[in-house]
Structure 1
Amino acid sequence: MKQISALLLVMNLTLVACSAPQNTAVAPSPSENSTAAKPVNNHQNKLLVVTTVAPLTNIVSNIAGDRVEVKGIIPEGTDSHTFEPRPSDSDVLSKANLVIVNGLHLESPTEKLAKASKPKDTKIYELGGNTITKDQWLFDFSFPKEKGDPNPHLWVNPKYAEAYAKLAAQQLTALDPAGKDYYATNLKNYLQRLDALDKVTREVVASIPAKNRKLLTYHDSWAYWAREYGFEVIGAIQPSDFKEPSAQDVAKLIDQVRKVGVPAIFGSEVYPSKVEEQIAREAKVKTANTADDELPGQGAANAMQNTNPQHTYIGMMANNMRIIADGLKGNSKLVDSLNTTNVVGPTATATTTTAK
């Protein structure tokens, strides 16, 4: 009997050992990340921050790094002014711990869905409204004052992108105080990249003859950039109702381009139209497409998921500077000194690169 009891005891211990969980998570060692605050590596444990347009998503994710999941819900190449959220976006918003939007009436349908879908305690934070005051709003061709909607494209101005990054760091720290040092480190590194972008932009502008520092674009998204860097926006092809311009409008623009004598006008990758080609042909100027919310090439706006080193906010602005410089007879080679990669993620590189 003693032998049978001993045999049964051994069998029971074997069964217990075999039934133990095999996928128990092992906490990462401190050496796995060299930043001041260790990022969370278990995707299921991450906080979720929902953003809107790709440049915002990229800016926020450069600060959030691996501690927070950042998800943008407005697809690239989509008109953010008129984008209607999908049913699946409601599910994403229902799980958000923080929602970060541009504001200034840019993503009204998305903000409306966020208010209806988000958890009660989840904050919706507007970057634009916390970067400039109402007296600094700009109204223009695409955004006339009588309609009450200011031009919302602040991020096209790198100085405002710096403000967005700082505000994002504040909000992430409030959401996740334990990550304060980690966010501060990412912010410091990212601000170095944005400062280099600002310096190169000023060099590019200085290389363009003063008489050519005028912009006619399809969608009027360059107002805050122009104010910062000494350009004049002479018009926008797209009317304020976002429809195609009338034949009369086109004729006026052709006359205006001829009168001011700019060597190029600029279309939009998001708003494909043959109107700018017609204007350029009849006014005998060049045309090229710029971008304000579509990052270059294929990739993810979230820096932690991005395997394309050019698919970044800084990469988008670097492309724009090349296009504008080439079109307006400036020096596009000045842009070559820029490091356009993210400061975090698969393609992150050292932050020591500065503008020459």
Structure 2
Amino acid sequence: MFAGANAGDVYGSPNLAGVMRLPRSPLVPAALLVSAGLALAACGGSKSSNGDTAAVRARVAAYTCPGTATATGAAGTAPLDGARLRIVTTVAPITSIIANIAGDRADVVGAIPEGQDSHTYEPKPSVARIMTTADLVFVNGLKLEDPTRQIAVKNIPEGGRVIDLGNLALPEDLYLYDFSFPKEGGKPNPHVWTNPPMAACYAQVAAAAMSAADPANAAYFGANATAYVARLAELDALMKAATETVPAAARKLLTYHDAYAYFAANYGWEVIGAIQVSSFEDPTPKEIASLIKQIRATGVPAIFGSEVFPSTVLEQIGKETNVKYVDQLRDDDLPGAPGDADHSFLGLMKFDFVTMVASLGGDATALAAFDPADITPDRAEYPQ
């Protein structure tokens, strides 16, 4: 029988095998999440723990996947019982990336339902059960989905591995701390996957880990990763070209959630603020007034809400400033439904960037023609 997580390996973060199971608390109703605390800042002149923010952003823009990421991802093997490789993932974008590499040679199951806030989601008992049969568990890490991660570490069988993709793909000197994720809080911005070159590193780390766990299919996983990274490079090039059509003064993002920091650094955009889902109280009149003033000062033509978590606050601010309010962005909820061509990480990034570019005065025609279909049929299970 399985020996439990104390025998499992954790890659990308300190070993947390000794943690206890977390007590469950009721899930937060989506309607309550619109009552968010306000996080405001002008990013351009701020400092981070890694030096001047502009310097860190420049390093992010020049990002390449560290060789140590794939080397660490490949370390060790999972002792299979002769069955197919069993993989558990967390948020839907990561599930999609992993499914493209796994193809038809592994079973992939997501643990966090689409439409749930990954920062606050408390896993159901069924999540612990699926961890007990996992050979590999891929999490974002960077303290994004800690409750789910801790359950994975506690329940994964002997020889299984928990792999923190974000920690492996992102060197510490590229950590971005900002108004929503201040350095003193000890948590860098974890939304690494919204930057396609970094998502490509996730794919490479995953392929290395799968190949180590199932050497017989290593060539298959490697070929899928190569093809998928090429698709991400194509998408990245189209996104950079689309950026050039957006007036420079309009390349600013005010969003419902601070999920686009690495994305913005790569494409030369600026995140000027976010309605951060961090409390259950409405922003104060003073906070709203401050944000309205900031929008008027920057001249941003549109602000962005979420299709999953609509914000009455952002809607109010849009009316007050006569700025277009676009409530369609997603960061960990894929477009469409499982089985649809655009229900993919590629579809997610295409959808968001077409929405941003078109709303801010640019031309997204070429990007809109990009085919977001997976390189292999997506057989993953996405909890809804």
TM-score where L is the length of structure 2: 0.75
Amino acid at match of 2:186: G
Tell me, yes or no, if structure 1 residue 81 matches structure 2 residue 119. Answer: yes
SS across alignment from 2:206:
helix
Instruction: Report if aligned partners of 1:239, 1:245 keep a CA contact under 8 Å in 2.
Output: no
- Once residues 52 and 270 of structure 1 are traced to their aligned partners in structure 2, the CA distance between those partners, rounded to angstroms, is 18
Mapping of residues 293-304 of structure 1, within 5 Å: 293-299=332-338
Shift of 1:139: 1.1
Name 2:174's counterpart in structure 1. Answer: 136
Amino acid at match of 2:170: I
Name 1:310's counterpart in structure 2. Answer: 342
Shift of 1:121: 2.0
Shift of 1:80: 0.3
Structure with the greater alpha carbon radius of gyration? 1
- Once residues 248 and 232 of structure 1 are traced to their aligned partners in structure 2, the CA distance between those partners, rounded to angstroms, is 23
Tell me, yes or no, if structure 1 residue 227 matches structure 2 residue 237. Answer: no
Percent of aligned positions with the same letter in both sequences? 46
Mapping of residues 1-356 of structure 1, within 5 Å: 45-238=83-276, 240-241=278-279, 244-288=282-326, 289-299=328-338, 307-345=339-377
Amino acid at match of 1:290: L
- Once residues 329 and 222 of structure 1 are traced to their aligned partners in structure 2, the CA distance between those partners, rounded to angstroms, is 19
Q: Deviations over 1:238-285 (max 9, x none)?
A: 265475432221111111001100100111233322111011110110
SS across alignment from 2:162:
strand
Comparing 183-192 with 203-212, greater Cα deviation is found at 183-192
Q: Deviations over 1:137-166 (max 9, x none)?
A: 111122122211110000000010111111
TM-score where L is the length of structure 1: 0.81
Instruction: Report if aligned partners of 1:79, 1:270 keep a CA contact under 8 Å in 2.
Output: no
With over 3 angstroms needed to count, the CA separation of the structure-2 counterparts of 1:224 and 1:286, relative to structure 1, is same
Q: Greater relative contact order: 1 or 2 (C-alpha under 8 angstroms, separation 6 or more)? A: 2
SS across alignment from 1:45:
coil
Amino acid at match of 1:106: L
With over 3 angstroms needed to count, the CA separation of the structure-2 counterparts of 1:313 and 1:238, relative to structure 1, is same
Instruction: Report if aligned partners of 2:134, 2:156 keep a CA contact under 8 Å in 1.
Output: yes
Instruction: Report if aligned partners of 2:211, 2:218 keep a CA contact under 8 Å in 1.
Output: yes
Shift of 1:204: 1.1
- Once residues 175 and 130 of structure 1 are traced to their aligned partners in structure 2, the CA distance between those partners, rounded to angstroms, is 18
Instruction: Report if aligned partners of 1:290, 1:320 keep a CA contact under 8 Å in 2.
Output: yes
Structure 1: state its 5+ residue gaps.
1-43, 300-306, 348-356
- Once residues 90 and 209 of structure 1 are traced to their aligned partners in structure 2, the CA distance between those partners, rounded to angstroms, is 49
Comparing 277-286 with 334-343, greater Cα deviation is found at 334-343
- Once residues 168 and 191 of structure 1 are traced to their aligned partners in structure 2, the CA distance between those partners, rounded to angstroms, is 12
SS across alignment from 2:98:
helix
Amino acid at match of 1:183: F
Shift of 1:344: 0.5
Provide the aligned length of Structure 1 versus Structure 2: 297
With over 3 angstroms needed to count, the CA separation of the structure-2 counterparts of 1:53 and 1:239, relative to structure 1, is closer
With over 3 angstroms needed to count, the CA separation of the structure-2 counterparts of 1:75 and 1:346, relative to structure 1, is closer
Amino acid at match of 1:293: D
Q: Deviations over 1:119-143 (max 9, x none)?
A: 1321110000001112211111221
Comparing 318-327 with 241-250, greater Cα deviation is found at 241-250
SS across alignment from 1:183:
helix
SS across alignment from 1:236:
strand
More helix by percentage: 1
With over 3 angstroms needed to count, the CA separation of the structure-2 counterparts of 1:322 and 1:174, relative to structure 1, is same
With over 3 angstroms needed to count, the CA separation of the structure-2 counterparts of 1:240 and 1:139, relative to structure 1, is farther
With over 3 angstroms needed to count, the CA separation of the structure-2 counterparts of 1:129 and 1:241, relative to structure 1, is farther
Q: C-alpha root-mean-square deviation of aligned residues, in Å?
A: 1.5
